[in-house]
Chains A and B, each alone.
Chain A
Amino acid sequence: MKNVACQSASHLVSRRTLLSNMLAGAAGIGAAGQFVRPSVAAAIEAKQKRVLIVLLNGGLSQFESFDPKPKTKTGGPFRAIPTSVPGTHFCELLPHTARQAHRLAVVRSVFAEQVPGSHAAARDYVETGRSPVLGPYPLLGSVYSKLLAGKTDLPGNIHITPSRSGPRADAAFLGPQHASIALPGGAAPRNVDRPAIFTAEADEARYHLRDTADLRFSQRRRTAYTEAYHSSYDRALQLIRRKELFDVGLEPAADRDRYGSHDFGRHCLMARRLLGEGVTCVKITHSNYDSHMENFNFHLEQLGEFDRPFATLLDDLDERGMLDSTLVVLLTEFGRTPQIMPDLGRDHYPKSWSVVLGGCGIQTGGVLGKTNDDGTEIVDRPVHVGDMFHTYLRAVGVDSKATHEGRNQIPVAAPERAPVKELLA
């Protein structure tokens, strides 16, 4: 099941764009190699599949985004606008994303059973595809780190969080090497700076002493643990040497302007930078959509921040020929109630909501599933979050019906669920 060929619709186009750019560059500068940035070149060569997860934290309203119900009693004040796919409409709060619709697949009929009221547990549900009372299971990013990341010096699972937050043990039984590396507020990972007392030279000298000690110790001893330990220092040192990887300020100023100076814009640019360098899975959390009051102002503000950078990132991934090898997953933990509450809020609604996919392995340009006119019920093709979880894996060629190696042979995804064939290219 591995290495399913990615055949997204934009594949050929983007490759052609890139080629023509290269030719233009070659004509102008004289050598194609000088034009293509090394990291982009490396990404294309490697054909390594990557994943971008954008988590809209708090519960995005499907009404104010991908399943608008204008002029109904549940629809709220916003209009629906046409998208780049004839016949498909998004909420008017997403004008830029609407122009990307041909690169996306919208699922309007996602649901789960017995979704916990707590946001954290509901997020675990959508990111593991299983009810959190059964868990803990590894989150999607950790599964990719384990099953998709090849031999790379870079961390396989990076999480750009909106604020400074502690380490999150999200890899469960897959182990800490697959836990996400947090970039709190988009800053570099913790402890990536050398202590003041150690200059680069003095610092590397102590690693050398450490390595020598390990070498002596591992003579005639088992090597599995010592090698894993050694490699963790190797990777630490590589990251310390390459901490500019996390300096989004090194991206061209024009790009920084295109993405915007607010946090989510910077985080999207950071994601582009990391994916371009070959990081397997980058997750951005955008907070906060939990609009129990003032739902409409909330979404106006939040989606106003989200819309342009997200669309820009899709454009750039495509432009760089990366979209065909990068799965894009736009998630939220549950939907919001059709009913509009007295304070103009919408509460949590686990009976149906929307999830959007794009890029690698996804059949784009369509809408799957349908809710009724008021958006209270799914009327066509309900899709369980567990089925979505299978789909996220299958899209990049990971066999979601397999079991994890080792401990207890736990199925990679809920065994009673299956990938959504209509979504897969």
Chain B
Amino acid sequence: MNRRFTLLWCALALVGGGSRVAHGAAALHEEIDRQVEAKLPTWKLARTADPADDEEFLRRATLDLTGVIPTAAEVRAFTADKSPDKRTRLIDRLLASDEYARHMAVVFDVMLMERRPDEHVPTAAWRAYLADSFRQNKPLDVLVGELLGSDGFQPKTRPAAKFILDRDVAHDAIVRDVGRLFLGVDLQCAQCHDHPTVTDYHHAHYYGLHAFFAGTKLFRQADGTSGLQETALREVTFASVFSPDVQKKTGPRVMDGPTMEVPVYKAGEEYVEKPTAKVRAVPKFSLREALSKTLPRAETREFSRNMANRLWAQLLGRGLVHPLDMHHSENPPSHPELLVLLADELVAMKFDTRRFLREVALSRTYQRSSLAPAGVSPDDVPEESLALANFKGLSAEQLLASVVRATGSEATLEREIDQAVKETLKNVKSPPDEDARLKARDTERAKRVAEFVDLFGAPAGTPEGEFQASLTQSLYLANGPSITGWLAPEGDNLSGRLMKLTQSQEIADEAYLSVLSRRATPEEARATAEHLERVDDRSLAIRQLVWSLLASAEFRLNH
């Protein structure tokens, strides 16, 4: 208990400290590098890996910030650029792009909804809302406030209510996920009893959060629109499954923070209007609204720490606290001071996502190679040391977008979608309007993404975990009809372009630049030449070559 008090006190003291940047200290990215490098002796490491070369860096940043590999032309242009600030300019260009907003929408959708099926708010509207939020760089505290506070009845913020509505307004799911995703604590096991292995997570923590949502329920308007209503409550009771007879009570409370003061109204006067079957229950004091203002703000240390850790993990491949939802004293951060700094800076930046990601991306730590220095065994360098770039598996969405881009199949994919739309609309009696056509296209596109998501995404309701490779995945990549189709030479797709080239060096370069975002090494060019020599059927040889690069670990991983 004492230790927790001390930690809390330290945390509070630091909140008041303000921003390093504001105080004219070193830029955040420099401070990140200083702290990471100072920590190397902890793991008995003498040095870090070299900086990533231009090609490795370009691929990594493009994948992390826009969700797809760079084109061959982008690789050529970036490597030809001799200006010293080209990496900074690249980061700024990527962060300013519309692809960034759309990629962040996917990243946050997957993080927040964990691929649950749509219930009330369609994914398209939700992603559009998120993309718009990232396009205008809406501060993260404002965004999370909207997610918790929206009741679903205001058109502007209706999509934000997806977080609660599409968890079927199930209190257990909401409480658990508010804990995990916004506070970095997984209270799942604390739902029925104190956590069996994590001594910091208490049954009361779970119910303290639960109290904010216990009154929230689904309400359907006469026109069928669904949204939220709320019964006025002040506290909840709970009992451990191990001692079901001992009833306990708690008021609304975020972790070890103060219990929220709930104003007392006379019986019958708790609501704005007396609720009936037709009148939505709206309490004069909404606990959920109160939480939407209390949780996502600087004073909630768990919140800024969690968001900083999650944004960091998006670029570095793991959190300073890892797993991301296991912030507790027996799972300390790899770099405690750095996590404090990042959380402080995120607060000082007023939860500015772009600025935060920019600083992290500018760091040497982020720009390190995944190639170990000569004489160092890479498996002896712990991931948390950050001395070597960590691998990240491409997400289902990154993988699909990158396979399509690498094989130059954008046009083929559009044609396949058109064809499917035509088939679908053939059976519709009335002539389809533009709206129906667009909808059908969205559906068809979503089907193709779903094919990848089913295989490469985490199951619904679970976070995207570490990279994993299954038999079903490799069978799909090897023999699945989509990829086999995209390998066939056709017009200007990659195999088509390679068929028109005659020099094996040109073939190797075009294939490697398009798929692996780098030039072939002399050894690889030689192996390519031998392969083309050995296989008489050029079309077959090209497909084998392109597939072998697509199916390589180098492509499958963000390295």
Also in contact, A233 and B193, with CB within 8 A (given A193-B479, A209-B548, A210-B548): no
Return the CB mask of B136-174 against A: 1 if under 8 Å, else 0. Answer: 000000000000000000000000000000000010110
Identify which of B207-215, B273-281, B438-446, B460-468 touches chain A: B460-468
Identify A212's interface contact among B173, B326, B527, CB under 8 A. Answer: B527
Is B391 within 8 A of A225, CB to CB? yes
- Chain A: minimal CB distance from B114 (Å): 10
By a beta-carbon cutoff of 8 Å, the part of chain B in contact with chain A is 170, 172-173, 186, 188-189, 191-193, 196-197, 241-242, 323, 325-326, 370-372, 374, 378-379, 381, 383, 388, 391, 393, 454-455, 458-462, 465-476, 478-481, 484, 488, 521, 523-524, 527, 531, 535, 540, 543-545, 547-549, 551-554, 556-557, 559
What CA separation (Å) do A228 and B391 show in the bound complex?
13
- Interface: A288 (CB within 8 A): no
* Given known contacts A169-B459, A191-B478, A416-B242, A222 and B378 CB-to-CB distance under 8 angstroms: yes
How far is A375 from B403 in the complex, measured between Cα atoms in Å?
A: 58
Contacts of A172 in B (CB 8 A): 459, 462
Indicate which residue in B189, B455, B471, B544 contacts A239 across the interface (CB closer than 8 Å). B471
A230 within 8 A of B: yes
A176 and B462: CB pair below 8 A?
A: no
Partner of A167, one of B472, B474, B543: B472
A229 with B556: in contact, given A176-B472, A223-B379, A403-B197 (CB under 8 Å)? Answer: yes
B465 in contact with A175 (CB, 8 Å):
yes
Q: How far is the CA of A206 from the CA of B378 in the complex (A)?
A: 28
Closest residue of chain A to B322, judged by CB? Answer: A407
Q: CA A216 – CA B196 in complex, angstroms?
A: 45
Contact with B along A162-177 (1 / 0, CB 8 A): 0000110111110111
Judged by a CB distance under 8 angstroms, whether A151 is at the interface is no
Task: Check: A37 CB closer than 8 A to any chain B CB.
Answer: no
Question: Which one, A133, A136, A209, A232, contacts B462 given CB within 8 A?
Answer: A136
Answer yes or no: A179 CB below 8 A from chain B CBs: yes
A-side interface residues, number (CB < 8 Å):
63
**Which residues of A, 122-177, contact B by the 8 Å Cβ criterion?**
133-136, 155, 166-167, 169-173, 175-177
In the bound complex, CA of A223 to CA of B191 (Å): 38
Interface of A with B (CB < 8 Å)? 133-136, 155, 166-167, 169-173, 175-177, 179, 181, 189-195, 197-198, 202, 205-207, 209-210, 212-214, 216-218, 220-226, 228-233, 235-236, 239-240, 403, 407-411, 415-416
Beta-carbon contact of A220 and B547 below 8 Å = no
When distances are taken between beta carbons in the complex, the residues of chain B under 8 Å from A135 are 461
Residues in B with CB closer than 8 Å to A411 are 189, 196
Residue numbers in A under 8 Å from B475 (CB-CB): 189-192, 236, 239-240
Name the 5 nearest CB pairs between A and B, nearest first: A169-B459, A209-B548, A176-B470, A232-B469, A206-B544
User: In the assembled complex, how far is the CB of residue A254 from the closest CB belonging to chain B, in whole angstroms?
Assistant: 33
Q: Are B557 and A225 in contact (CB under 8 A)?
A: yes
Determine the chain A residues whose CB is within 8 A of the CB of B458 once the complex forms: 169
Residue of A nearest to B463 (CB): A173
Per the bound structure, the CA–CA distance linking A188 and B314 in Å amounts to: 38
B553 adjacent to A231 (CB under 8 Å): no
Q: Name which residue of chain A comes closest to B373, CB basis.
A: A220
Give chain A residues whose Cβ lies under 8 Å from the Cβ of B378. 220-223
